[in-house]
A and B are shown apart, each in its own frame.
Chain A
């Protein structure tokens, strides 16, 4: 089979995203990463939740599942456990992943199932036309918060590192080449990786200019195995660092641990079980 190019992973469906939406860059970067890793299409599944960014699986010609709101991590985990030889990518937005579905993140981290989770974070509910999201700044004014929102924004990087996610990174839709590089490393990482992609909503909350100003690559001397330093960098909010904050490569994945567990289970058959129940 001839080598696939990034465009070969594209489906026939035209994205529903607004022109200029940050999610286009994520789609491009992911297809480039697939091509770079020479992954066969049938060996990939992209799963999603609900929201603008969760329409993603329709636009890519791999296996895909568009699930319900906030449940992409359990859904994608099931796929990976069910088909361990395949590559599974979970995608969604900040509402899907950091609001309704946020409770699944620590458990995905604990299990360290080999999945790549891309959260396209636009700090707004775009599909429902502009309500504040968990990453909207305090005081954000919208139709649902006409006098300003009252909550402080979540810090997704700090949260992910403290939950002990084994690969934590931040990208920006304005920097597609760097994003592709992070995606490649995340896909190669054996375990659960969470990537926050700053992916502006040009219609309801255009942050391109803002992010162009405040984003910066992580310091060149940052050692991603240094968890405390990663946390300190994540806590800086004036500057939003881009790149791999934290990575623990040696941690066993869920599937590896399952193999050990399976060896502990004594061999048995239905007949043997019934036999043991006989009076």
Chain B
């Protein structure tokens, strides 16, 4: 094991439908239960059966921030798994494979496990993955009682198969224990004290965040990869006094949520790209009628049906600008599983307080992965509520859309006596009645837009609007958003350890942008790398567009790093792009780079070290 990287990356590959994901999930849970920190990633085909599935889990004693680049251990359930996944392994990886898979001789250590033969002997061909779970339990020297309990607990809803699965698990364990008694290169020493951790997915984090924020209405339509949010809400919402309804399409989902919001509920929906496209008209309604609404978008790769099960950050423009006319909304971007919980709570706060739709931009990789994390508490300021009209404001002169300095007008809901008002999709006056005169339209547009500015001011004191780390004032920086933070966090850690100063910032509110924080960050930089998982570099463009004056005046260069492959960034890719940026800057700053010489030289050295990959042990 590489002493500088005390984590192990386990990659499990097999065909969809042969239990690859179950194996990955159970192994991840076993590692977590045993006291390790884990971080997983899954990529799977859009089909229920067939197609190759890859599950990667990274284990460590300290906090793990990404799923890792090259794998230390590959579990190949079939020949195709080997073919697909052997190219980015560590040089001395351990290959645990189904015995029929042909693995050519190399530096890798191979372990043939006759999973098919064992499961056939048990007349339980579906138990192949459990044989391999037994194998992994042995190789990592994890506790066999713990894994038994886990299987009983997890698979308890299929009582007829639990015994068979356990039998397969035991056979696999026994076979490996007997055949491979020698110590395993990648066994992680378990910590002596087990910290309190939960194993949380991004989807569950968002559902629980919604419950913590008092969400009591959910309307949704199934869509990969957002469905798990709905399923968690379906399980818990009734116990919290809320209602969940699965409706006929995404258009119905958003309109029903808007109706419930009008009725006074804390309403939400969750969807993914194609669903968001369908919801855009409804988003405009919530914006003009000034009704609170939380919309979680678990991004997947598009356009159109695209890559339904693969990750992307390609919906930023749609979220920020989607729709006809100028319809103010908020857009939040959680940057970790735990942050999914907090940003969902903030989304409700912003929606309810500012009477506006809020989009939470998550993505497939973050929503479907599992991560060990501490139990999140309630945010420091608790969820904010609506500003309700007081009795003096009610009556026939009640101005539901009163022009105020903040842009926020007191609201009522059905049942409030003398609070009757019309929520209009047409342009309307302060009373809510249609009014399409030029002066009124202008005033109303400004009133609604003003709420964003009011929020921007409030958010300036809100410490969760961005996350900044690294060497304060370092000349080179990285600015990103959303789920890519893990890879960037790890890259900055490597750079700092290697003596290259670097600073990074991840805004959590993309609309409104935390301008103060961003301007402050920009002001100390020579160049900023903007990595993101989409084809056109939407965030980078937005940054260039919004801050072009400062960037021009200060001569700060933006380097876009765009990746649209359906998979997350590798840490190595961030490192390479950073070094490339610095190398380019070296050319630009040749005559006046006295104080930067050290950085340039370090970057050049690191560039040689990190190019080509496969450097892990």
**Which of A58, A67, A279 has most B Cβ within 10 Å?**
A279
A277–B433 CB distance below 8 A: no
Q: Is A153 an interface residue (CB 8 A)?
A: no
Q: How many residues of A contact B (CB 8 A)?
A: 53
Given contacts A42-B415, A75-B258, contact A64 B265 (CB under 8 A): no
A278–B255 CB distance below 8 A: no
| Selected contact of A79 from candidates B253, B414, B418, CB within 8 Å | B414
CB-CB contacts below 8 Å: B237-292 with A: 238-239, 243, 245, 247-249, 251-253, 255-265, 267, 281-282, 284-285, 289
The docked-state distance in angstroms from the alpha carbon of A71 to that of B282 is 9
Q: Is B199 an interface residue (CB 8 A)?
A: yes
Interface stretch, picked from B211-219, B598-606, B608-616, is B211-219
Q: Is B372 an interface residue (CB 8 A)?
A: yes
Q: Is B111 an interface residue (CB 8 A)?
A: no
> Taking the nearest CB of chain A, how far is it from the CB of B133, in angstroms?
17
Q: Is B577 an interface residue (CB 8 A)?
A: no
CB-CB contacts below 8 Å: B410-436 with A: 413-426, 433-434
Nearest opposing residue in chain A for B252, CB measure: A74
Given contacts A58-B434, A65-B423, contact A43 B258 (CB under 8 A): no
> Taking the nearest CB of chain A, how far is it from the CB of B531, in angstroms?
31
Nearest opposing residue in chain B for A71, CB measure: B255
B415–A41 CB distance below 8 A: no
A67–B285 CB distance below 8 A: yes
A265–B265 CB distance below 8 A: no
The docked-state distance in angstroms from the alpha carbon of A57 to that of B431 is 13
Nearest opposing residue in chain B for A62, CB measure: B420
> Taking the nearest CB of chain B, how far is it from the CB of A90, in angstroms?
10
Q: Is B94 an interface residue (CB 8 A)?
A: no
Which B residues are in CB contact (< 8 Å) with A79? 259-260, 262-263, 414
> Taking the nearest CB of chain B, how far is it from the CB of A258, in angstroms?
6
Q: Is B117 an interface residue (CB 8 A)?
A: no
A82–B252 CB distance below 8 A: no
Which A residues are in CB contact (< 8 Å) with B403? none
* Contact pattern, B 115-127, Cβ under 8 Å of A = 1, otherwise 0: 0000000000000
Which B residues are in CB contact (< 8 Å) with A103? 248-249
> Taking the nearest CB of chain A, how far is it from the CB of B113, in angstroms?
27
The docked-state distance in angstroms from the alpha carbon of A15 to that of B426 is 15
Interface of B is mostly: mixed
B285–A83 CB distance below 8 A: no
A83–B248 CB distance below 8 A: no
Given contacts A63-B420, A104-B252, contact A68 B434 (CB under 8 A): no
Q: Is B208 an interface residue (CB 8 A)?
A: yes
B422–A82 CB distance below 8 A: no
Given contacts A41-B420, A81-B245, contact A74 B200 (CB under 8 A): no
The docked-state distance in angstroms from the alpha carbon of A261 to that of B217 is 15
B217–A74 CB distance below 8 A: no
Which A residues are in CB contact (< 8 Å) with B35? 279
The docked-state distance in angstroms from the alpha carbon of A41 to that of B398 is 15
The docked-state distance in angstroms from the alpha carbon of A71 to that of B249 is 11
A78–B422 CB distance below 8 A: no
Q: Is B196 an interface residue (CB 8 A)?
A: yes
Which A residues are in CB contact (< 8 Å) with B265? 82
Given contacts A81-B217, A82-B267, A274-B198, contact A63 B256 (CB under 8 A): no
Nearest opposing residue in chain A for B416, CB measure: A42
B238–A81 CB distance below 8 A: no
Which A residues are in CB contact (< 8 Å) with B251? 71, 74
Which B residues are in CB contact (< 8 Å) with A265? 235-236, 238-239
Q: Is B375 an interface residue (CB 8 A)?
A: yes
Q: Is B32 an interface residue (CB 8 A)?
A: yes
A78–B257 CB distance below 8 A: yes
B208–A270 CB distance below 8 A: yes
Q: Is B108 an interface residue (CB 8 A)?
A: no
The docked-state distance in angstroms from the alpha carbon of A61 to that of B191 is 68
A82–B415 CB distance below 8 A: no
The docked-state distance in angstroms from the alpha carbon of A47 to that of B262 is 11
The docked-state distance in angstroms from the alpha carbon of A279 to that of B260 is 37
Which A residues are in CB contact (< 8 Å) with B252? 71, 73-74, 104, 107
Q: Is B197 an interface residue (CB 8 A)?
A: yes
| Selected contact of B262 from candidates A40, A73, A78, CB within 8 Å | A78
B420–A58 CB distance below 8 A: no
Q: Is B46 an interface residue (CB 8 A)?
A: no
The docked-state distance in angstroms from the alpha carbon of A58 to that of B432 is 9
> Taking the nearest CB of chain B, how far is it from the CB of A265, in angstroms?
4
CB-CB contacts below 8 Å: A237-266 with B: 258, 261-262, 264-266
Which A residues are in CB contact (< 8 Å) with B284? 68
The docked-state distance in angstroms from the alpha carbon of A279 to that of B196 is 8
Which B residues are in CB contact (< 8 Å) with A278? 196-198, 375
Nearest opposing residue in chain A for B38, CB measure: A279
A47–B259 CB distance below 8 A: yes
> Taking the nearest CB of chain B, how far is it from the CB of A159, in angstroms?
16
Given contacts A279-B197, A279-B372, contact A270 B420 (CB under 8 A): no
The docked-state distance in angstroms from the alpha carbon of A278 to that of B32 is 9
Q: Is B472 an interface residue (CB 8 A)?
A: no
| Selected contact of B259 from candidates A77, A273, A279, CB within 8 Å | A77
B414–A42 CB distance below 8 A: yes
B260–A81 CB distance below 8 A: yes
Nearest opposing residue in chain B for A70, CB measure: B251
> Taking the nearest CB of chain B, how far is it from the CB of A74, in angstroms?
4
Given contacts A42-B420, A277-B198, contact A68 B33 (CB under 8 A): no
B259–A76 CB distance below 8 A: yes
**Which of B197, B199, B262 has most A Cβ within 10 Å?**
B262
Q: Is B194 an interface residue (CB 8 A)?
A: yes
Nearest opposing residue in chain A for B211, CB measure: A270
Nearest opposing residue in chain A for B289, CB measure: A65
B422–A57 CB distance below 8 A: yes
* Contact pattern, A 36-67, Cβ under 8 Å of B = 1, otherwise 0: 00001111110100100001011001111111
Which B residues are in CB contact (< 8 Å) with A41? 420
B421–A75 CB distance below 8 A: no
Which A residues are in CB contact (< 8 Å) with B32? 279
| Selected contact of A42 from candidates B375, B419, B434, CB within 8 Å | B419
| Selected contact of A81 from candidates B208, B236, B243, CB within 8 Å | B243
The docked-state distance in angstroms from the alpha carbon of A268 to that of B236 is 8
Which B residues are in CB contact (< 8 Å) with A220? none
Which A residues are in CB contact (< 8 Å) with B289? 65
Identify the B interface with A (CB < 8 A): 29, 32-33, 35, 194, 196-200, 204, 208, 211-212, 217, 219, 235-236, 238-239, 243, 245, 247-249, 251-253, 255-265, 267, 281-282, 284-285, 289, 372, 375, 413-426, 433-434
Q: Give 11 new A-B contacts, CB below 8 A, not counting A111-B245, A279-B372.
A: A42-B415, A42-B419, A44-B414, A63-B421, A82-B262, A82-B263, A82-B267, A258-B243, A264-B238, A277-B204, A279-B32
Q: 12 A-B residue contacts at CB 8 Å?
A: A43-B415, A55-B434, A64-B421, A65-B422, A74-B247, A78-B256, A78-B262, A79-B260, A81-B256, A83-B264, A83-B415, A274-B198
9 closest Cβ contacts across the A-B interface?
Answer: A78-B259, A82-B263, A82-B260, A265-B238, A78-B256, A83-B263, A74-B252, A74-B255, A277-B198
